[in-house]
Amino acid sequence: MRILLVEDDRETAAYLVKALKEAGHVPDHAADGEEGAFLAEANRYDVMVVDRMLPKKDGLTLVSEARAKGNDTPVLILSALGQVDDRVTGLRAGGDDYLAKPYAFSELLARVEVLARRRKPGEAETLLRVGDLELDRLSHTVRRAQTSIPLQPREFRLLEYLMKHAGQVVTRTMLLENVWDYHFDPQTNVIDVHISRLRSKVDKGFSETLVHTVRGAGYMIRDSHR
Amino acid sequence: MTAIAKVVRTTAFKLAATYFVVFTVFAVVFVGWISRETDRILTQQVQDSIEAEIGVLADEGLSKGLTGIVAAIEQRSRVPGASLYVIADASGNVVAGNVTEVPPALLQRSGIDPVTIPYKRLEGDSTRHLAMVRVLPLPNGLRMLVGRDVSDIERIRVVVAKAMMIGVGLLIALALLSWFFVSRRVLKRIDQVSATSRRIMDGDLSGRLEVTGTGDEFDRLAASLNAMLDRIEALLSGLKDVSDNIAHDLKTPLTRLRTRVEAALAGPERTDEYRAALEATIEDSDQLIRTFNALLMIARIEAGSPDGAMAPLDLAPIVADVAEFYEPVAEEAEVYLALSLEEPLPMLGSRELISQALGNLVDNAIKYVKSGDAKPSPARVQVTARREGSDIVVHVADNGPGIPASERERVLERFVRLEKSRSQPGSGLGLSLVDAVAKLHHGSLSLGDAGPGLVVTLRFPAAS
């Protein structure tokens, strides 16, 4: 997909462009806010990745101006400011997601891909299906191979988030933010423990594993037959 | 030029100059007024006595005629300190009297206003004197002059003028003296204060201002400045401890990271070795970032900056969520995590920060409950949240080894991890973060004995 990267640090930008290309995307790079605004208006992108502090025009202004012109491309804001109130400011300016520096590229990539997918229709599906696993968002029930799997409310939300982004990598931080609404670092590998508990309910006793660990990035729920 | 300007700028000079001007003006006005009044009174006296003499002589003249007046003058002239008497004809020749020479024009005056003239006495000294005289016409074209010597008044004037000069001179001397005194004795102490401050600014934090024990303003000023310096020194040494700890806790992993990369480069050129080294490097840098974030966060919370983060909330579900979040971790560590909640627990706060603080406490409890030599069985962490009067109290208690009472205060400091727990992962910032969050919410954090084990208590003011 086409990605606009607005980042003033040359080295970071070069690395991100290369890595995004390797991940199969088509990135355009702008080195300052004005160039970024120009490119955002001239082209249609699937996702914009905007650094918050930019020369000539700061990232938040760029985003809010683009929004005012009716540009609804999903935006991921990058910032060295990582506190909750900074995040709130960023999202209020029209950002869809917020990533504090320094970040792992896998984290950025996972978020960009999830953002791009968010635009596609059919988000309001009530029945999520991965392989023989089914999750009914209305009745709050989960079945696998016609067997009902009882889940705690939080486990249900965890599985729901994974299935909503089936086939995509979701990072631990994304799970922490979206399932628990926590924006701090719990120090311990709490998420891993939750996932392994979910796995024991969803995958245990089945020949095929659906919940996969993506090394160095996070987790993914995927039907390997498709 | 600059030296003079420098002197002029000093407070001592300004004070001395002000005193000098004020007192000089005062002295001149005062002495001037006194001399004028004295002059006026003395002149009046002279005039009065002249009028009296004229009155007496007129009486003589009325009863005995001109000869009577002459006889009276002759008689009066012989008395010591006598007045001046002259009777002269129209051309100015003295007929009778005790004065040898009078300006002739004067005798032509018919005015009754006394005037001051120089004259020569008939007997005794030949110096010219000043006198106040009055001229009167007598029959036969004769004129009579009656006057009194006013040299005394002149002398008094001279004395007053001298007094004024001496006074002003004395004032100048006093001003100089006060300048000297003020600058030497008083302003010297101010100079000492600035000298000491300069020394302290140059880095000698142990420097203190001299307190002389007189209890004057300077002593009080010095005492409060010293108290301020004590506080600053304490803060700075605290800061130094923190930076030493930062240096330790950040430099240690940085060194480890560097060493590992170096070792990997020096080692065999094998992809798997490189990969392992790089992965460990990322892990280390993540830990560094975590420590760094925690530090920044504490600094920001302590500065009280998360504006608008405070909202009315119910603490009960927040505690429940945190307990639920850590429950699988406890289970994996074979720790029994129990929750006891009172509902609702309304308060004003930040869900995010409180969750993080509670998470830290629960995480710590799960980590440390089994860190002692005697393993509790079952290991247990009890989270309790309830209302106590106007407070909301959250206890996180474990039945682990606890923390000795003597070390409880210390663990709240940044980066402090008791030696025993050095082997456990973590930045050592957890409790100071919790402490900062408690303070931001106008609450408190305290550590106690759970007998056995540690109980950490968070106390927040409840919303009414």
> Do A177 and A200 reside in the same domain of the chain?
yes
Inter-chain residue contact B306 with A82, CB threshold 8 Å:
no
- pLDDT computed for residue B121 by the predictor: 67
B325 vs A: CB within 8 A: yes
Burial class (CB in 10 A: 0-12, 13-18, 19+), B458: buried
Q: How many cross-chain Cβ pairs, A to B, lie less than 8 Å apart?
A: 60
Judged by CB atoms closer than 8 Å, whether chains meet at A182 and B325 is answered as yes
Residue at B421: amino acid letter = S
- pLDDT at residue B114 above 70? no
Residues A103 and A173 in one domain: no
Give mean pLDDT, residues B151-169.
80
Nearest to B98 by CA among B117, B70, B61: B70
Is the bond leading into A150 cis (omega within 30 degrees of zero)? no
Residue of A nearest to B292 (CA): A102
Residue with structure tokens 């001397």? Answer: B173
pTM of the model: 0.62
Closest by alpha carbon to B10, among B149, B148, B194? B194
Nearest by CB to A184, from B289, B328, B352: name it.
B352
**Searching chain B, which residue's CA lies closest to the CA of residue A182?**
B352
Residues of B in contact with A83 (CB under 8 A): 296-297, 300, 306
Cβ contact B359–A186 (<8 Å)? yes
A44-48, A86-90, A163-167, B385-389: least confident range? A86-90
| Cis before B461? omega within 30 | no
Q: A120 pLDDT band (50/70/90 cuts)?
A: low
- By CA distance, what is B322's nearest residue in A? A180
* CB-CB under 8 Å, B324 with A83: no
Q: Considering only alpha carbons, which residue of chain B is nearest residue A195?
A: B328
- List the structure tokens of B361: 């406490």
Residue A158's CATH number: 1.10.10.10
Say what angle helices A153-164 and A172-179 make with each other, to 10 degrees: 120
Average pLDDT, chain B: 78
A30 is a domain residue: yes
Interface test with A, best of B282, B352, B354 (most A CBs within 10 A): B352
Q: Are residues A113 and A131 in the same domain?
A: no
- Inter-chain contact B350–A84, Cβ cutoff 8 Å? yes
CB contact under 8 A, B332 and A193: yes
Residues A105 and A25 in one domain: yes
Residue at A167 is within a domain:
yes
Domain ranges of chain B: 2-155, 217-302, 311-461
Same domain membership, residue A184 and residue A133: yes
Q: A186 to chain B: which residues are within 8 Å by CB?
A: 325, 359, 363
The domain that contains A103 carries what CATH number?
A: 3.40.50.2300
Judged by a CB distance cut-off of 8 A, whether residue B114 touches chain A is no
- Confidence label for B418 from pLDDT (cuts 50, 70 and 90): very low
Check whether A2 has a pLDDT greater than 80. yes
The number of beta carbons lying within 10 Å of the beta carbon of residue A127 is 11
Say what angle helices A172-179 and A190-202 make with each other, to 10 degrees.
80
Instruction: Check residue B393 and give its pLDDT.
Output: 92
Q: Are B440 and B363 in contact (CB under 8 A)?
A: no
What per-residue confidence (pLDDT) applies to B72?
A: 81
Residues on chain B touching A182 (C-beta within 8 angstroms): 325, 352, 355-356, 359
B87-92 contacts at long range (C-beta below 8 A, 24 or more positions apart) = B87/B138, B87/B142, B87/B143, B87/B144, B87/B145, B88/B142, B88/B143, B88/B145, B89/B141, B89/B142, B89/B143, B90/B141, B90/B142, B90/B143
CATH architecture classification, B2-155: 2-Layer Sandwich (3.30)
Q: What are phi and psi of B260, to 5 degrees?
A: -65, -45
Residue A11 burial (C-beta neighbours within 10 Å; 0-12, 13-18, 19+): exposed
Look at B328 and A183 and tell me if their CB atoms are within 8 Å: no
- Is 80 exceeded by the pLDDT of residue A138? yes
Based on the domain organization, do A16 and A105 belong to the same domain? Answer: yes
What are the start-end ranges of the H helices in B109-186?
151-181
| Residue A226 covered by a domain | no
* Last residue within a domain, chosen from A93, A118, A143: A118
- What is the mean pLDDT of the segment spanning B257-268? 85
Give the separation between CA B313 and CA B346, rounded to whole angstroms.
Answer: 6
Q: pLDDT, tens digit, for every residue of B290-327?
A: 777 777 777 777 766 555 567 888 989 999 999 999 99
Q: Residue B421 is encoded by which pair of tokens?
A: 């727990």
Could you tell me which residue, B78 or B275, shows the higher pLDDT? B275
Q: Residue B353: its chain A contacts at CB < 8 A?
A: 84
Interatomic CA distance for residues B379 and A92, integer angstroms: 45
Say yes or no to pLDDT of A190 above 70: yes
Q: Which of B351, B271, B275 is nearest to B313 (CA)?
A: B351
- Count of domains forming chain A: 2
In the listed set A90, A118, A146, which residue is the last one of a domain according to the structure? Answer: A118
A83·B306 Cβ contact <8 A: yes
- Contacting residues of A for B427, CB less than 8 Å apart: 187
What number of other Cβ atoms are within 10 A of residue B300's Cβ? 16
Contact A85 B309 (CB under 8 A): yes
Write the pLDDT tens digit of every residue in A11-67.
Answer: 888 888 988 898 888 888 888 888 888 888 888 888 899 888 888 888 888 888 888
Q: Residues of chain B with pLDDT > 90: what percent?
A: 3
Q: Does B309 touch chain A (CB under 8 A)?
A: yes
pLDDT digits (tens, 9 = 90+) for B54-98: 888 888 777 887 778 878 887 877 777 777 788 877 676 777 777
Mean pLDDT value across chain A: 84
pLDDT digits (tens, 9 = 90+) for B17-53: 787 788 778 878 887 888 888 888 888 888 888 888 8
Q: Across the interface, do B363 and A186 touch by the CB < 8 Å criterion?
A: yes
Residue B185 carries which DSSP code? I
- Does pLDDT of B422 surpass 60? no
What is the band of B110 on the pLDDT scale with cuts at 50, 70, 90? low
Query: Which strand (E) or helix (H) includes residue A137?
Result: none
B-chain CB neighbours of A187 within 8 Å are 290, 360, 363, 425-427, 430
**Between the ranges A185-199, B150-164, B425-439, where is the mean pLDDT highest?**
A185-199
Q: Are residues A107 and A132 in the same domain?
A: no
| Segment of A77-86, A206-215, B372-381 carrying the highest mean pLDDT | A206-215
Range of the domain at A107: 2-118
Interface of A with B (CB under 8 A): 82-85, 102, 104, 154, 180, 182-188, 190, 193-194, 196-197, 216
Architecture of the domain made up of B311-461: 2-Layer Sandwich (3.30)
Round to whole Å and give the CA distance between B99 and B146: 10
pLDDT score of B394: 92
Q: A107 to chain B, minimum CA–CA distance in Å?
A: 13
Inform me whether the C-beta atom of residue B317 falls under 8 Å from chain A C-beta atoms.
Answer: no
HSE at residue B122, side-chain half, CA atoms within 13 A, is 16
**Closest chain B residue to the Cα of A188, Cα to Cα:** B363
**Fold for domain B217-302?**
Helix Hairpins (1.10.287)
CB B429 within 8 A of CB B295: yes
